[in-house]
Amino acid sequence: MDIPISSSLTLNNLRVIKVLGKGAMGTVFLVHDMFQDPSALSPFALKAVEKSNFSSNAIHRRARWETTVLSRLQHPFLPTLLGFTENSDFLCYAVPYCPGGDLNVLRYSQSDHVFSPTAIRFYIAEIVLALEHLHSLVCSNS
């Protein structure tokens, strides 16, 4: 399946606000579109994979696989692909920015550094619903 390239995702139009993280495949930036969102009220996450890091085809295949999966997701508890673009140096794709960090950051913000039973049930329910959705996608494709 080809990933639709969003005409609104133009690298030259994006301004980096900060680096959100670095991993084995690339760097994730918090960015905003200077023309569509000049006040940076709706930033999004942009994963940039440097093509020179494609020492093996495995990394390239993995990046393509990620964008394919993200383009198929339509669920409130899962990220969706906002846009995709590439040039001679980078393969980049955008997903919604989820402020607040990961669950561990949230856990440490709790008074005793633990979640209440109610919070645990809430997060587990979200995870189960997301996994149920992913399972339904796999089952419908087989």
Binding site: what residues are annotated?
A: 47
Binding-site residue numbers for ATP are 47
CB atoms within 10 A of CB 42: 11
Q: Are 40 and 53 in contact (CB under 8 A)?
A: no
CA distance 92 to 9: 9
